[in-house]
Structures are given as C-alpha cells and as structure tokens.
Chain A
C-alpha cells in the first residue's frame, strides 16, 4: 500500500461540498481544515472539520474562497499540506493550482496546464479538433468583430451561438438566428463576457437545436491511465443552470456509450489529464454528439455517478493527488442501477426561480436504502445571498429508471423544509411529467414543454384558502376584542385617579 503523503487538507470551499470532502477525508484518516467566514460563522461544514481557521475578521466583500494569497497563507499557517478546491470559486483557476505547487502544497485536482487548456474554450476546441473529436462547426479561434462572425455563420448556417472563450454557466452566450441580429448579439455577448470573465473574447459555433446534455465522468492518474465512469444526463436545466441530473442516460445504448466514452477519454489524454474531470457533449435528435467543453473539477452532480459505480470520487481525487495509480481498468467499471439527483435550492419557483435566501427553520430529509442526501445546512442555518442557494442534493436510486423515478416521487413528498421557498414544487411536477418519464426531454424542456413550473394536488389550494379564511375569522370575527375587559380600564389606584381628575 502506498504511503499517504496527504496529512491535512485545507478545504477551500464551503457548504455541501466542504461537508462531502471532509466525510471522505475522515474515512481516509486525513485531517481537514475549514475556514470560518463572517457571512456564515455557524455553518454546518465547520462542525466536521478537525481544524477551524477563523477568518471572521476579514470583512472584505470578496469571499476568502476566491482569495488565492489568503488561502495559501491559511494552508501554510494551519500546517495543511494539500488543498481541495471543491467546485466553483477557485476550482478551475490554473493560477491557484500553480500557486499551490509553488508553495509545496498538493493541489487536489488536475495540473495547472490542463486547467488552463480546458478552461480556454478556443484552445480546448483546437485540442478537440486535433484529437478528432466531433464538434459543432464553428470559428477556428476567437473572432474579433461581427463581420467575421457573419462570414462564419453564413458558412456553417444559422442558427449559431456566440460563446465567451473563458465562459461557463451560460454567461456571455447568445443564440443568433438571422444575420441582422448578429451585430447586436455579438456586442452583448462580448460585453457580458468581459464583465463576467474579464475577457471579451468570443467565438462562434453552430447552435444545436434541442439537444440533450450528456457528460462523461473521467478519472485519470498521474501515470497516464485515463478511464471513464459512464455518463450523466443533465438536460433538465434552466438558463444553463442544471436542476436535475441522472445516471445513466436513457438516450444512450452500450454502443453509443462506448463511442462517446472513448472520445471523452481521448480528449482527456490529449491534455495529460489527471484527477476527476467531466467531458460535456451535446447529443442531437439523430444521436450525433458534439464536444462542448471539459470541466476540470469535481462536479455538483458527481453523486449520481458514485451511486451507479459504487466508487467514491473524492477518495479517487485524493489518491490520484497522492500519486497513486488507479486500481481499476475501464473493463472493471460496471454501471449498476439508476440514480437521480434533485438540486433542492432556496429559490422561488413561482417567481422565475429567483433566489430566496433566509433561515432554514426546520429541515427533515428522508432516509432509506435508496436515498442519499448531501447537504451543508441544518435547521437554524441560513441560506445567505452571497453564496449559491443550494439547500441539499437529494439523490435517489432505483434498479432501473422507472423505479428511480417512483422512489424519487416518494422521497420528494417526504422532504420537509421550512423557512425559505424551495425548488421542491418544481421537482414534484417534473417527476409526474410524461416527457420526463419517457425520457424524451431536451435542454429546452423547461422553456418549451412546461406550462406550469410547480405541482400542487387538487386540494392544496383549497386547504390554503381554508387557512386564509380561518385566519380572517380569528382576526376579525372572533377576535379577542370581543373579550375586551372594559371594566378593567376603570380600575386604577386611588392616587392616580385623584391626580387625573384633579388635573383639570
């Protein structure tokens, strides 16, 4: 057995993923360091850390989890010899990864080089092209003006999509359907990209209509072994924010899975990828797939892959970072059963999924053999506006998709959250929707196929109406004003009565 070099990990993150990483670290007998911030001084992730670094004096508006110098300093001060960035924040920041290495800290993730190459979409496209990965047609590199964009669009045919080179998460993206829209959209996308990523570069590619979002989980070690752990389908998204993910995908058969998986491994190998990563594809109606991007970090939706493969991806990340060789080959990976993950966020579905921060007053998550819950909050925690709005990930298993959906439906009814509005009503609707059940949905499902964003049973509104009426009756009709004791107002001490009467 390899000697574990990693003794103490600084978790450069918060919330659910911090809890998740610490759980595995604990099992591996590795100590963890968590950072207490002024925004969430009593957050749940602090409870499971071995060492807490108190950073509540820092009242800067930029979260500490984005402050490279500070994080390195914290790691050094707390004697951590490794850093896990989680997802978001600095997880895909090549400079941060390099800084860790420079300070002799083990960065639990891929090499700075791989992060940089995959983080820049133009470079990533070039690499993918060179490796023979199918891709949507598009510009060879960044384009600098709308005329150039029009020329390319004419060549590949409308609709096209303008994307930010350094982008992600839907920002800096614009779909163009006609040449006369190009100028406006180009400027908007470029401005948005500059604002969001500090880089106005954009490129153009063919826009795939109504695709499915299929991504492959990759694991690679530092010895050059790269395998994939099957796919996840994340087509249920709203404005490029994923809401529900499942593994495997009903759109793939063994043949297509192998083909896409091989491609995913190929592109990862092209950048000498190690650690966990995700290669994202779009799959069109005719089962053509196109490389979209590679995410060089652990994903929010990693649990569905863990459920069907039986692997602990955080453990694999740590082992790889430790320099260990993968203990299994591609042929050892067997996908078993079906898993669905619902991202239960503090959002107001009725107000267009607007964040609804607030204090979680009560939280009861279901338990059972087919249920896994990853959360970073408990009753009394606050969902703060400065971070994401996630409350919990509800991961449900079944022997097949049908059973997973059935279990999911039951589990959703057992989730009890009070204090903020949540995306639960959306999921309750989703699991009942025909299109979801038969698996024919695409990324445009929410925009196109949904009439209503939430589910309520026939009688729920009536019960709410009853409650409103009851409150009205209590407040107005048999209000306690009926029991007003007016005589009491006439009773007072002789001293005061005398003074009051003789005042005039």
Chain B
C-alpha cells in the first residue's frame, strides 16, 4: 500500500458544457498549443486590476464566485463555470450518473409571506447554488431567495408585484 499511489497527479477542469481540460500536477505556468509551450502569468496592478498575461496580451479576469471545487471565472468579459475534478472524482461522477437515472427537481417555496419584487431567472436559465432567484419583500426588507442547488430552472411561478403566502411555490429547478 504505497502512499504515493494516492497523491493527486492530475486535475481536470470540467466546463458547464462538459468540455474537459486536463492539467498535470504540480501545475505548470505554461499552456501547450501544438508543440509550443506558452507562458501564462496571473498579475494584478492598480491600472488594470487582475489580469492574465498570455502571448503578450492582457485579458481581464475576475473570480466571480467559488464554492468548494466549483469556480466561476470572468475571463475577458465572458463567464465560465468549472468544477475541478480529480481522476477519481471524475470516475465517481460517471458511476453516480449511470446509477442515478431519475431526474430530481427542487421546488423553491416562499419562506415567509411577502411581496415579490423581482424575479431574476427565467425558464431555462442555469443557476448555481447560492444564486438569487427571486426578491421577496417581507418585514420591510428585500430578501433574496437563493437557489439551494445547481440546476436548470424549469418553472417560474413567481410574478413580480404579486403577494405570496408562506410556502407558495416560486420556482422549480431541475437538478
């Protein structure tokens, strides 16, 4: 039972469209295109903020959010969402996806009576856990109702400027 066997040697960044980028560890600060390796630098300064320097061009970057192994990166004004997977977690994902056939959904209900101020998602939008779905005014405060799961919105029942009771259905999310 050699210990080294279990050291993580490779990581995969899995995009939301299931494109897979693999990086070997320790992580190199270069990216290979064809036969050439190009240096990547992550930098920050007063004028530009945080940016990546690659092939003599600066690209603005921002870490929009991260939770656990999920990262949303704003790169040159476009957001990308990745989960970082190890070889085993990738395998595990495949195993679980094949055994868990049925689609599960999450129903978001109003946590308290109030008035819907704004609905921030539409049917078909992809949401991450922690993302606001609906703004509900109650107790004279605007409350963001946030998504407890990653998923796709399948139904939006909340309508702006309507009153809801506690436990009224607001949004349905497909996991």
Contacts and interface: CB of A to CB of B under 8 A. Distances in A.
- A461, A463, A473 interface centre (most CB from chain B within 10 Å): A463
B76 interface: yes
Interface string A404-418: 000000000000111
A351 B60 CA distance: 19
Nearest to B57: A413
A464 B73 contact: yes
Contact of B21 (A417, A425, A466, A471): A466
B49 to A, nearest CB: 5
A472 B71 contact: yes
A461 B77 CA distance: 12
Contacts of B79: 348, 350, 421
Nearest to A423: B77
- A interface bracket (residues with beta carbon within 8 Å of B): 35 or more
A461 B49 contact: no
Interface stretch (B25-33, B101-109, B165-173): B25-33
B27 A473 contact: yes
A464 B66 contact: no
Please report whether the interface of chain B is mostly helix, strand, loop or mixed according to DSSP.
strand
Interface in B34-76: 40, 42, 47-50, 52, 54, 58-63, 66, 69, 71, 73-76
B57 to A, nearest CB: 8
A468 B73 contact: yes
Nearest to A454: B78
Contact of B31 (A349, A454, A456, A459): A459
A477 interface: yes
Interface stretch (B11-19, B91-99, B144-152): B11-19
B63 A418 contact: no
A166 to B, nearest CB: 22
Contacts of B71: 467-468, 471-472
Interface string A218-256: 000000000000000000000000000000000000000
Contact of B33 (A422, A459, A476): A459
B61 A464 contact: yes
Contacts, number: 109
A462 interface: yes
A468 B59 contact: no
A463 B59 contact: yes
Contacts of B88: none
Interface in A361-377: 361-362, 364
A425 B76 contact: yes
A471 B60 CA distance: 16
A352 B122 contact: yes
Nearest to B124: A352
A479 to B, nearest CB: 13
Contacts of A362: 47-49
A102 to B, nearest CB: 36
B52 A467 contact: yes
Interface in A395-433: 416-418, 421-422, 424-425
A468 B13 contact: yes
- B11, B69, B73, B77 interface centre (most CB from chain A within 10 Å): B77
A454 B69 CA distance: 26
25 contacts: A349-B78, A350-B78, A350-B79, A361-B49, A362-B49, A364-B48, A418-B48, A418-B50, A424-B77, A425-B76, A425-B77, A456-B75, A461-B21, A461-B80, A464-B61, A464-B75, A465-B13, A466-B13, A466-B23, A466-B31, A467-B42, A468-B82, A470-B42, A476-B69, A477-B8
Interchain residue pairs A-B with the least CB separation, the first 4: A465-B13, A465-B21, A468-B71, A464-B75
